[in-house]
Chains A and B, each alone.
Chain A
Amino acid sequence: MKSTALAEHNALGNSRDASLRYRRREHMLMFILMSPAVLIVFLLLIVPLAWLIIQSFYVGDGVSLEHYRRIFTERVYWNTFLLTFRISFVVTLLAFLMGYPLAYAATVLPKRWAIVILAIVILPFWTSVLVRAYAWLILLQRSGVVNEALMGVGLTSAPLSLVHNELGTIIATVHILLPFMVLPLYATMQKIPRDLLMAGASLGASPLHVFRWVFFPLSLSGVLAGVTLVFVLCLGFYITPELMGGGRTVMASMLVSRNIQLYSDWGAASAVSVVLLMCVLVIFYVVSRLISLERILGTK
């Protein structure tokens, strides 16, 4: 009696071992399959990032906090970060104001119109940022189509300075980042069941009331996702402000390149990058407390 119980116990133990072995093998295989990707991420992202951080603490040959001291005390740096945040804020606000109606229209209109709207939003996405920035440059310059048209209609008597300044930067950046606002919004709105809107109407709510109390609250997670994406991407924008800003609108990323191109100061450039990276991480952290990151990144 006792021996059979023991045998049973052993058999159970063996089968548990077997399943454990099987699971370990499975994990091993998974790891091997993933290893090329892991290697690439490690070599091309983690290592350079670590190097960047280390570098930011070196002045000449000695370890020092000099770069960070300069960033936090000198006016130029302060102004640049302030400008970067201000532009990002305005761009995000404009992208939201333009993107929300677009996503809403794509959601409520018949399918074929939805496709047209999304195509118009996404198509420019497939051309290079450089091309789009130059296109805006041509459109907005003193003798460009926009100024000619405004004067032609008689709205303005002299050409407006639409480019080589903050305004030009904002216009082009909004255009380039608009898909990042529209797509998460559209994805969220698509998932709002139409039944809820019908129920709202049947319960006596006018279309405006249904929007205010049902549709809009349910689209908020998409708003947060879109706003975060656009804001964060805008913080690190480089080509567009470089081309559209005319050298006067200096954003944080341009500070990085100037430190290298003009002063060959890799340490200072690294320190600016690290501060910018920290800003982005803090934003993501705060937002992730509100909604899951998978939603922002669109994997859910």
Chain B
Amino acid sequence: MDKNDSVGVSIRSVSKRYGNTMALDDITLDIEPGEFVSLLGPSGSGKTTLLGALGGFVTPTSGAVWVGSQDMTYMPPHKRNIGIVFQSYALFPHMSVGENVAFPLRARRLPKATWPERVSKALAMVELEGYQDRGISQLSGGQRQRVALARAMVFDPKLILMDEPLSALDKQLRETMQIELRQLHRKLGATIIYVTHDQREALTMSDRVAILKDGKLVQIDTPEVLSSDPKDSFVASFIGDSTLLPVVRSDTYSVKLGDVILHSTRPVPTHPDLLLAIQIEKLLVHDERHDPDMNRLHCRVREVVYQGDSIRVFLDMEDGATISLRQPSHHLAYQKIPPIGENLTVALHPEDTIIVPNTGCREPATNVA
């Protein structure tokens, strides 16, 4: 497929009400042709409902969904020409791999003679050449995932939706598949909308990530911007591995954490309730050679945890709050960390000093490692 073939998606103030709850609350979102966008949010944030509205399984209470130059709000699913990869894979258990992949061709009444070539081409895309005659029950989880992918793209859809497609795979396979999906996206050139609750996955794969909370779109940006300039504490707590500490505005570019003044390169938001988001990788052990503008924090080492590829240090601050930093586990990093109970000064660059308005956090982070 040609890159120019892919279509943009325009979600125009879409709302969905179930009884008294708003599953989607006035969501407006434009996706460029060929873009890879993730919908990220905790369960119940509305990301699956939004995907349902795109796929035609959920009719919005108000608003419109456009794909390319077509209003698809009320179009039945089978006329939308959108490839969907389901969380459960939804492979037909009574059909072979080949029959599963040929299903969209049969449904479109394409001449039977063209099936074998298209099926083998789609299977080759996901590196399952020659699997046509296998039964679904003979496949591993990763292989099923690939068949589901092949089936969703055999009819050259211009838009592909994926609903947590990797959540049933083990960690290692998941990371391999993330890279493969990225490459596949580049090869196909189709627009991909990807639902996940795993922030790392979203950041790894996407051109842009849309963060949803309680049916509302909180922020949509590139992974870099989300990480360096989160809009509020919800986004800051969702992206990366951060500690949030209450701070008080001191002037346009600085805040007070206890008695310590911290400088930021971005203007401090005008909000009565502010939080400092310290990302675990951005906190450094203080070194005389550092930039003199670095913010410094005096702490006491509480715990040092060896995590294989990295060491994690838990630090008590003077006011009792706990922050932590992570360093690659090479010998030099070890040398710099004093024994438990000793004092340690850590540094945070003004560029990495992120101040956000307090709008609540997600539940305790699941991705701590």
Contact = CB atoms under 8 A, between A and B. Distances in A.
Contacts of B108: 204
A196 B92 contact: yes
B88 interface: yes
Contact of A198 (B81, B90, B92): B90
Interface in A197-244: 198-207, 209-210, 213-214, 217-218
A196 B90 contact: yes
A198 B104 CA distance: 13
A201 B56 contact: yes
B147 to A, nearest CB: 12
26 contacts: A193-B88, A195-B90, A198-B57, A198-B84, A199-B90, A199-B92, A200-B103, A201-B56, A201-B76, A202-B55, A202-B56, A202-B82, A202-B83, A203-B84, A203-B107, A203-B152, A203-B155, A204-B79, A204-B104, A204-B107, A205-B78, A205-B103, A206-B107, A209-B78, A209-B107, A214-B92
Given A200-B103, A201-B76, A218-B94, A195 B88 contact: yes
Given A201-B56, A201-B76, A203-B155, A217 B86 contact: no
Contacts of A209: 78, 107
Interface size, A (range)? 10 to 19
Interface size, B (range)? 20 to 34
B77 A213 contact: no
A199 B78 contact: no
Interface-central residue, A196, A199, A206, A209, by most chain B CB under 10 Å? A199
B103 A203 contact: yes
Interface-central residue, A193, A202, A207, by most chain B CB under 10 Å? A202
B318 to A, nearest CB: 54
Nearest to A204: B107
B93 interface: yes
Contacts of B94: 217-218
B158 interface: no
B312 interface: no
Contacts of A206: 78, 107
B290 interface: no
Given A198-B90, A201-B56, A213 B103 contact: yes
A202 B77 contact: yes
Given A193-B90, A196-B92, A217-B94, A202 B84 contact: yes
A155 to B, nearest CB: 40
A70 B151 CA distance: 62
B17 interface: no
A35 B337 CA distance: 72
Nearest to A220: B94
A202 B92 contact: no
Contacts of B76: 201
B78 A201 contact: yes
Contacts of A218: 93-94
Contacts of A198: 55, 57, 77, 84, 86, 90
B106 interface: yes
Interface in B38-89: 55-57, 76-84, 86, 88
Contacts of A217: 94
Given A202-B152, A204-B81, A204-B107, 9 more contacts: A198-B57, A198-B77, A200-B92, A200-B103, A202-B55, A202-B84, A204-B78, A204-B79, A213-B103
Contacts of B106: 205, 213
A204 B155 contact: yes
Nearest to A203: B104
- Top 5 A-B pairs ranked by shortest CB distance? A199-B90, A205-B107, A201-B77, A202-B84, A195-B90
A207 B56 CA distance: 13
Contacts of B107: 200, 203-206, 209
A291 to B, nearest CB: 13
A95 B203 CA distance: 56
Contacts of A213: 92, 103, 106
Nearest to B93: A218
Contacts of B81: 204
A213 B108 CA distance: 13
Contacts of A202: 55-56, 77-78, 80, 82-84, 152
A127 B107 CA distance: 47
Contacts of B151: 203
A275 B103 CA distance: 47
A196 B56 CA distance: 15
Contacts of A210: 78
A217 B83 CA distance: 23
Contacts of B83: 202-203
A210 B78 CA distance: 10
A223 B103 CA distance: 24
A199 B88 CA distance: 10
Contacts of A200: 78, 92, 103, 107
A219 to B, nearest CB: 10
A213 B106 CA distance: 10
B337 to A, nearest CB: 49
A206 B79 CA distance: 8
A219 B209 CA distance: 41
Nearest to B163: A195
Nearest to A218: B94
A193 B90 CA distance: 8
Nearest to B106: A213
A221 to B, nearest CB: 10
Contacts of B104: 203-205
